[in-house]
């Protein structure tokens, strides 16, 4: 069974601008501004590694499509959609810090939502068990009433609603983007048929961390009490910490909930090299998380997983981590792709040995 990749190059038309890492003052402090971290190039590299990397034979490619405005109302309010349509008609609008709707953005956002719907429909219609929506702009901060954190439409949330409407009675969302999936959590906060789980940077563990919520005591409300699991992890958490959190928290929660569909919300900004995160996952950790997700899907949802793309800002390592994650989900016998960057020794005993050697050499060579 191949993993179906849903993609549409129209999503490259969203240009979020430049310079979000400068001071925000006018004039800024810097002459050379970086691209907005959520740029088209990062996704171009994801497309190319999936087409040209060793995973290519295990994938099939499918075109995405724009969502109809009416399809957005399962998750979003009509007032908010009207606000987006107006902003697009007017030209451009800054919704909040780092979140710019420019000409081309609305078309891309509609494609991201529609492409995610196509991906989940592929599973719901029985065409395959594994589908990946390679989409931008991202969605997991987008709330029913509000754009937030580079996101306009909650792509994964819309897919969850389509699954529910198609007769799946329980859906679980596991979000490993380094930021809290606050929009998705909010959309399902009062529901007991959608279990939302997010692993993310603990608020306060790093200056500009986003959003300012996601603590462990936010567990849902009303009927939804106990159906939102937040796993805020300390700064610097890596492969071992994430695997432990998956096995000790996520797996038992999913086993108890017994979802009929798993939605795996992925962001490669939990990697060790991401400018927008301070966690330390490597390809190995991503591969392991992918494997764990697959084993849960095999146990509960007939192997069915919808994977939805969110953040991931290192221009090359994000693509590699995506490759590793999908390898894990495919449950291949051996890793297909070596890590080009990350190498960590077990501990620093070797460093100390080297320091001792230098100390001796220095002593012997100085007259």
Residues that bind Zn ion (CB under 5 A): 177, 179, 267, 269, 311
The answer to whether the CB of 241 falls within 8 A of the CB of 202 is no
**Residue 148 or residue 269: which is nearer to Zn ion going by CB?**
269
Using CB under 6 A as the binding rule, whether residue 83 contacts ligand 6DK is answered as: no
The answer to whether the CB of 329 falls within 8 A of the CB of 294 is yes
The DSSP H or E segment spanning 84 is helix 78-90
Q: Which of 36, 202, 210, 288 binds ligand 6DK (CB under 6 A)?
A: 210
The answer to whether the CB of 56 falls within 8 A of the CB of 50 is yes
Catalytic residue among 141, 200, 210, 300: 141
- Record the tokens describing residue 200, joined without a space: 């993310």
CB under 6 A: which stretch of 8-16, 83-91, 148-156, 241-249 binds ligand 6DK?
148-156
**Residue 148 or residue 284: which is nearer to ligand 6DK going by CB?**
148
Using CB under 6 A as the binding rule, whether residue 41 contacts ligand 6DK is answered as: no
The answer to whether the CB of 307 falls within 8 A of the CB of 131 is yes
CB of 267 to Zn ion, least distance (A): 4
Q: How far is CA 143 from CA 59, 93, 234, in A?
A: 32, 17, 25
Question: Which DSSP string corresponds to 105-160?
Answer: HHHHHHHHHHHHHHHHHHHHTTS-SEEEE--SS--TT-BTTB-BTTBSS-HHHHHH
CA–CA dist 271, 289 (Å, integer): 13
Using CB under 6 A as the binding rule, whether residue 285 contacts ligand 6DK is answered as: no
Active site residue 68: no
Residue 138 binding: pick among ligand 6DK, Zn ion, none (C-beta 5-8 Å cut-off by kind): ligand 6DK
**Residue 178 or residue 305: which is nearer to ligand 6DK going by CB?**
178
**Residue 82 or residue 97: which is nearer to ligand 6DK going by CB?**
97
Using CB under 6 A as the binding rule, whether residue 267 contacts ligand 6DK is answered as: yes
Please name every residue paired with 196 in a beta bridge, in sequence order, or none if there are none. 173, 228
Using CB under 6 A as the binding rule, whether residue 177 contacts ligand 6DK is answered as: yes
Contacts to ligand 6DK by CB under 6 A: 38, 97-98, 138, 140-141, 149-151, 177, 179, 208, 210, 267, 269, 276, 310-311
Query: Annotated catalytic sites, by residue?
Result: 141
């Amino acid at each position: 069974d191949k993993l179906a990749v849903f993609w549409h190059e129209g999503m490259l038309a969203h240009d979020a601008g430049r310079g979000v890492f400068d001071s925000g003052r006018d004039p800024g402090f810097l002459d050379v501004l970086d691209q907005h971290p959520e740029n088209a190039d990062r996704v171009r590299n994801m497309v190319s590694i999936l087409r040209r990397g060793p995973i290519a034979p295990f994938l099939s490619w499918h075109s995405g499509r724009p969502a109809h405005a009416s399809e957005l109302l399962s998750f979003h309010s009509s007032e908010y959609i009207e606000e987006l349509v107006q902003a697009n008609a007017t030209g451009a609008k800054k919704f909040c810090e780092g979140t710019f709707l420019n000409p081309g953005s609305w078309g891309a956002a509609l494609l991201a939502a529609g492409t995610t719907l196509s991906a989940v429909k592929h599973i719901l219609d029985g065409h395959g068990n594994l589908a990946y929506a390679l989409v931008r702009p991202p969605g997991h901060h987008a709330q029913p009433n509000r754009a937030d954190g580079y996101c306009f439409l909650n792509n994964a949330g819309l897919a969850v609603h389509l699954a529910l409407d198609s007769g799946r009675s329980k859906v679980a969302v596991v979000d490993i983007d380094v930021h809290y999936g606050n929009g998705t959590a909010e959309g399902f906060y009062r529901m007991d048929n959608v279990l939302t789980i997010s692993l993310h940077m603990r608020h306060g563990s790093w200056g500009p961390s986003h959003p300012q919520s996601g603590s462990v005591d936010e567990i849902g409300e009303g009927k939804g009490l106990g159906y939102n699991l937040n796993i805020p992890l300390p700064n610097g958490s890596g492969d071992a910490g994430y695997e432990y959190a998956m096995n000790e928290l996520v797996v038992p929660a999913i086993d108890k909930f017994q979802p009929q569909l798993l939605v795996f919300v992925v962001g490669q900004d939990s990697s060790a090299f991401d400018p927008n995160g301070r966690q330390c996952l490597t390809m190995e950790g991503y591969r392991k998380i992918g494997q764990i997700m697959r084993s849960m899907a095999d146990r509960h949802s007939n192997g069915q997983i919808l994977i939805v793309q969110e953040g991931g800002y290192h221009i090359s390592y994000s693509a590699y981590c995506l490759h590793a994650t999908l390898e894990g989900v495919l449950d291949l016998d051996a890793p297909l792709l070596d890590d080009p960057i990350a190498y960590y020794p077990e501990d620093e005993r070797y460093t100390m040995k080297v320091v001792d050697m230098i100390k001796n050499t220095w002593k012997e060579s100085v007259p």
